[in-house]
Structure 1
Amino acid sequence: MSSISALWHAKNNPPLDPTHLSFRDKAVLVTGANSGLGHAAAIKYAKQGANPLILAVRTAEKGETAKQAIITETNCSPDIFVILTLDLASFDSVRDFVARLDNLVPKGLHVAQLAAGVATWGFEKSTAGYEISVQVNVLSAALLAVLLLPILQRARAGTNTAGEDGFVPHLSFVNSVASMEVTKDELEKAGVLPVSASKTSLVEWINDENKFDNQRQYFLVKLAAWFVVQGLVERNQTLEAGQRVVINASDPGLCKTGMLRSFPAVVRAIMAVKYWILGRSVEEGARTMVSATGLGTESIGKLWRNDGYSELSELTESEDGRELGRKTWDGVMGILRAGGYLQ
């Protein structure tokens, strides 16, 4: 992760609050909207005019609680909200969610803020048989994004320009600079690189219980998720100009969230001290997420962090890294097609 000095600097120099952005009458989707960074981002979108504001949550009860909290915080109209259930641990739930959403936004979706995610300490499988952080943060996130793209494209109404106010629909992922801290040497030792002679794929490695390392899983899953973003960008760029959307990612930094709730108590206690000293508030982290959805086409395929674009790693910028990225994307799409979730 980032050095102590970098984290201290980031804590004391939070990103600017993007209050200059308007999402007035824009259809905005936020996943993970009932807690943490997703909830903080939803508050900002409500303040800045989003309508409808679609809260994707695991249960309707959590959605209602989040809705009331946002109304209390912003004094916004209760009429702007749509609450939809979404369980990213289930491919079927993702498909059902998108089908329901599609019917609710006939003019399309302007912003998809994909903030939901999990971090794990021990190896745990989803009902589909995948390690849970791989399922939620990589496979289901990819499925959700692919299915959302046509709905986002619809908001451009088939024109070759942005909307009347210059806004181009955005698909934005929450990622982390941790994705840039995986090295070529680590992947070579694991047999993932070089791709031409690899013994295992990146997704196979992070999905293997016998190779699971709770000290590295977060970094490796974030790298796989980054490759999903790049695969989506390549797919997006093959479309006609009037169908393209802005696809980017943001890193809100070290924030005081409930992400570690499943970790052992002693680990949570140790990490709580680190977060207390070095962590940003979720409101400060959400500034980065929301501002990423107001960036222009120059942000496509980039990682927005601390009010600027993060440098990519030597690995991800290398030919080996790009080849691994393509293989990872193809592998994810292969899993989804083999399961019948994509055509």
Structure 2
Amino acid sequence: MVLDFLYSQIFVTPAVPTTPLPGQTLIITGSNTGLGLAAATHIARLKPALLILAVRNQAKGNAARDTIYEDTGLRHEDVEIEVWDLDMSTFASVLAFSDRCANDLDRLDGVSLNAGITMAKLELMEGYESTIAVNVISTFLLAITLLPTLRKSAMKHNITPRLSIVGSETHVWAPWKESTTPEGTKILEAMSAPGTKVSQASLFVAQQLPENAKVILNILNPGFCYSDLGRDSSPLVQTVMRYFLARTQEVGGRPIAAGLVAGLETDGKYMHDGVVAEGALSRYVKSEKGEEMGKRLWEELREVFEQARPGVVGKLWEK
């Protein structure tokens, strides 16, 4: 496990995506900084018709858009880049964003759910620990509410849209102590306790999304990168990250962009270093116990989603 991680970090450099994207509309969340901005820059070079930067700070999003144009040498005539408001810390903002996509976009070819946070201190958002709220609950609330728009695009334009979710390699070695949460106790509540690490939750939830959805779904690991996501880490950790093991933001953005432009071979798969790598999944995620845990966690999330918008989960399985 450790040797695989070191080999990947030191000897593997993910390829730059080169698939042209003419006429396509794409969304990348959390794209005003860090890996999201790097991924958006790679995607812009592939010249989609419209690239939407979904961010919680309009000013920073506008600055990111300008940076992409400057770094790529592209013009507005080459690719239209828009900045849309999305605050993943509130369910209302997530739902408003999904509604805007449904109402304003005639076509949606791909979405990269990249926005995420890591916090040094316990903070609650929507009643849950902040990383659980943003990285898991809001991420999948956004996923399931965007699926109808993606499906509609598939049928109207005869395309196969992509929904790509950014995960983490840490799911392999992070402790999953919530696996012992007794029946009758909410896993999400246990995960919101002080000292909990978000590890395998996103992978469990991704496994519960409907098959044959006319949408390619993949979840990916961008690798260990130096980015703003680690800004709350200690100076020592940041130094180790930046100078010894971490990939640059530009390199870390490549696997994210690769997931967004990927083909049918990635549907329902886990991607590592920009390619399908099911062997890189933890044994627990692939085990029978892991499958049972995923179903249990999904049932809890269904309740949260239904409270946020009644009837939203049922639409997932509509033809």
Normalising by structure 1, report the TM-score: 0.83
Unaligned runs of 5+ in 2: 313-319
Asked if 1:291 is matched to 2:275, the reply is no
Counterpart in the other structure of 2:204: 227
Shift of 1:329: 1.2
- Which of these residues, 176, 191, 206, is aligned with residue 191 of structure 2? 206
Question: 1:145 matched to which residue of 2?
Answer: 143
Which secondary structure does the structure 1 equivalent of 2:293 belong to? helix
How far does the alpha carbon of each residue in 1:44-75 deviate from its partner, in whole angstroms, 9 at most, with x for none? 11100112100101121111101100000112
CA distance in 2, matches of 1:270, 1:155: 44
Q: Does 1:181 align with 2:158?
A: no
Matching residue of 2:2:
3
Q: Alpha carbons of 1:271 and 1:341: their partners in 2 closer, same or farther (altered >3 Å)?
A: farther
Query: What is the aligned partner in structure 2 of residue 251 from structure 1?
Result: 221
Amino acid at match of 1:207: S
Shift of 1:231: 1.5
The answer as to 2:274 corresponding to 1:309 is no
Residue 17 of structure 1 corresponds to which residue in structure 2? 16
TM-score, normalised via structure 2 length: 0.89
The corresponding residue for 2:315 is none
Unpaired runs of 5+ residues, structure 1, are none
Which deviates more from structure 2 when the two are superposed, residues 23-32 or residues 285-294? Answer: 285-294
The answer (yes or no) to whether the contact 1:176–1:250 under 8 Å persists in 2 is yes
Instruction: Say if 1:33 and 1:332 are closer, same or farther in 2 by CA, change over 3 A.
Output: same
TM-superposed deviation, 1:139: 0.8
State how far apart, in whole Å, the 2-side matches of 1:51 and 1:84 are: 16
- Alignment identity in percent? 29
Cα distance in 1 for residues equivalent to 2:230 and 2:138: 20
Aligned length in residues: 308
Q: In the aligned structure 2, how far is the partner of 1:284 from the partner of 1:302?
A: 21
State the Cα distance separating 1:141 from its structure 2 match: 0.6
1:162-207 Cα shifts (integer Å, max 9, x gaps): 53xxxx21000110122233567x445xx32xxxx53534322111
In structure 1, what is the Cα distance between the partners aligned to 2:218 and 2:295? 17
Q: What amino acid does structure 2 have at the position aligned with 1:46?
A: A
After superposition, residues 34-73 of structure 1 pair within 5 angstroms as 34-73=32-71
Change (3 A) 1:136 1:341: farther
Does structure 1 retain, via aligned residues, the 8 Å contact 2:22–2:48? Answer: yes
Residues 1:124 and 2:93 aligned together: no
Q: Root-mean-square deviation (CA), in Å?
A: 2.1
Q: Which residue number in structure 1 is paired with residue 244 of structure 2?
A: 277
Q: Would you say the 8 A contact 1:202–1:224 is kept in 2? A: no
State the alpha-carbon separation in 1 of the partners of residues 308 and 171 from structure 2.
27
Q: Secondary structure at the match of 1:332?
A: helix
Secondary structure at the aligned position of 1:181 is classed as coil
Counterpart among 155, 174, 180 of residue 157 in structure 1: 155
* Contact 1:28–1:53 under 8 Å retained in 2: yes
